[in-house]
Chain A
Amino acid sequence: MKFNTLVYIETNNNTIEKVSKEIIAHARQCFKDNEICGVVVTDEITTILEQFKNAGLDKLFVIQNPLLKKFNVSAYCDVLSQLINDIKPSVFLMGATANGRELAPRIASKLEIGLTADCTDLQLDENSNLLATRPTYGGKMMATIISKTTPNFATVRQGAFKHKQFDVNNTEVCFYTPEMSCLNLFLSQLEVLKTEIKEPKEDWTESEIIVAGGLGLKSKENFGLIYKFSDLIGAKPAASRAAVELGWASHDIQVGQTGKSVAPKLYIALGISGALQHISGINNAQKIVAINTDNNAPIMNIADFAIQSDAVDVLNNLINKLSN
Chain B
Amino acid sequence: MSFKIIVFIKQVPDTDDIRWTEQNTIQREGLESVINPYDIGAIQLAKKIRLLLEDCKITAVTMGPLQAKAALKEAIAMGCDNGYLLCDKKFAGSDTLATAYVLSQFIKTEANDFDLILSGYQAVDGDTAQTPSSLAQKLNIAQITSVKELIEINKEYSLWQKETPEVTQNIKIYHPALISVNINNAEILPDINGYIKAQTTDITVLSAADIEADITKTGFAGSPTQVKKAFRPEITRATERLSFENNGQISDYIIKLINKCKEQDEV
Measuring CB to CB, which residues of chain A are less than 8 angstroms from any residue of chain B?
A: 12, 73-74, 77, 98, 101-110, 112-118, 131, 135-149, 186, 188-198, 208-209, 233-235, 265-266, 268, 276-277, 279-280, 282-283, 286-289, 291, 295, 300-309, 313-314, 317-318, 321-322
Knowing that A287-B261, A289-B257, A295-B241 touch, tell me 17 more A-B residue pairs with CB under 8 angstroms: A104-B130, A104-B133, A108-B97, A114-B97, A114-B225, A115-B225, A141-B231, A193-B159, A193-B171, A195-B167, A198-B167, A268-B254, A286-B266, A291-B250, A305-B240, A314-B251, A321-B255
Give the Cβ gap from B17 to chain A, nearest Cβ, in Å. 11
CB of A137 within 8 A of CB of B167, answer: no
Interface string of B74-102 (1 = CB under 8 A from A): 00000000000000000000011100100
Determine whether the beta carbon of A112 is less than 8 Å from that of B97. yes
Decide if B223 touches A114 in the complex (CB within 8 Å): yes
29 contacts between A and B (CB under 8 A): A102-B146, A105-B131, A106-B133, A114-B223, A117-B128, A118-B128, A136-B126, A136-B230, A141-B26, A141-B232, A141-B233, A142-B231, A144-B229, A190-B173, A190-B177, A193-B172, A198-B168, A279-B233, A291-B250, A300-B241, A302-B236, A302-B237, A305-B257, A308-B243, A309-B244, A309-B247, A309-B250, A313-B247, A317-B250
Q: B95 touches which one: A98, A114, A137 (CB < 8 A)?
A: A114
Q: Which residues of B, 114-171, contact A by the 8 Å Cβ criterion?
A: 124-138, 141-146, 159, 164-171
Task: Collect the chain B residues with CB atoms within 8 Å of residue A300's CB.
Answer: 239, 241
Note all chain B residues with C-beta closer than 8 A to A141: 26, 230-233
CB 8 Å contact bits of B26-59 with A (1 = contact, 0 = none): 1000000000000000000000000000000000
* Contact residue among A286, A301, A303 (Cβ-Cβ distance under 8 Å from B267): A286
The verdict on A276 contacting B233 (CB below 8 Å), with A192-B169, A198-B166 known, is: yes
A140-B15, A287-B267, A317-B250 given; A233·B258 CB < 8 A: yes
Q: Which residues of B contact A288 (CB under 8 A)?
A: 237
Is there contact, CB below 8 Å, between B130 and A105? yes
CB < 8 Å neighbour of B232 from A73, A142, A147:
A142
Give the interface SS of chain B, mostly helix, strand, loop or mixed.
mixed
The complex places the Cα of A53 from the Cα of B21 at a distance, in Å, of 50
State the CA gap A138–B167 with chains docked (Å). 25
Q: Does B238 contact A (CB under 8 A)?
A: yes
A301 with B239: in contact, given A101-B129, A289-B254 (CB under 8 Å)?
Answer: yes
Chain A contacts of B243 at CB under 8 A?
307-308
Q: Most B CB atoms within 10 A — which of A110, A276, A307, A322? A: A307
Contact A102 B145 (CB under 8 A): yes
Q: In whole angstroms, how far apart are the Cα atoms of A140 and B169 in the complex?
A: 33
The tally of residues in B whose CB lies under 8 Å from a CB in A reads 76
Set B159, B172, B228: member contacting A131, Cβ < 8 A: B228
Closest 10 interchain pairs by CB? A114-B224, A98-B164, A105-B133, A114-B225, A189-B142, A109-B137, A105-B130, A117-B128, A109-B134, A280-B233
Taking CB as reference atom, which chain B residue is nearest A301? Answer: B239
Which of the listed residues A12, A115, A196, A306 has the most CB atoms from chain B within 10 Å of its own CB? Answer: A115
Across the interface, B239 reaches (CB within 8 A) one of A74, A191, A306, namely A306
Given A105-B131, A106-B137, A286-B267: A142 and B257 interface contact (C-beta under 8 Å)? no
Say how far A310's CB is from chain B's closest CB, in angstroms. 8
Q: Do B251 and A98 touch across chains, with their CB atoms under 8 A apart? A: no
Q: Are B254 and A304 in contact (CB under 8 A)?
A: no
**How long is the Cα–Cα vector from A107 to B126 in the complex, in angstroms?**
19
In the assembled complex, how far is the CB of residue A228 from the closest CB belonging to chain B, in whole angstroms?
A: 14
Q: Within the assembled complex, what's the spacing in Å between the Cα atoms of A314 and B242?
A: 14
Known interface pairs A102-B133, A105-B130, A140-B18; A266-B257 also in contact (CB < 8 Å):
yes
| Chain B contacts for A308, CB-based, 8 A | 241, 243
**Residues of chain B with a CB closer than 8 A to A306's CB:** 239-242
Chain B positions within 8 Å of A115 at CB level: 96-97, 130, 225
| B140 CB to nearest A CB, Å | 8
CA distance A12 to B138 in the complex (A): 28
Q: How far is the CB of A286 from chain B (nearest CB, A)?
A: 6
Interface hub of B127, B242, B243 (most chain A Cβ within 10 A): B127
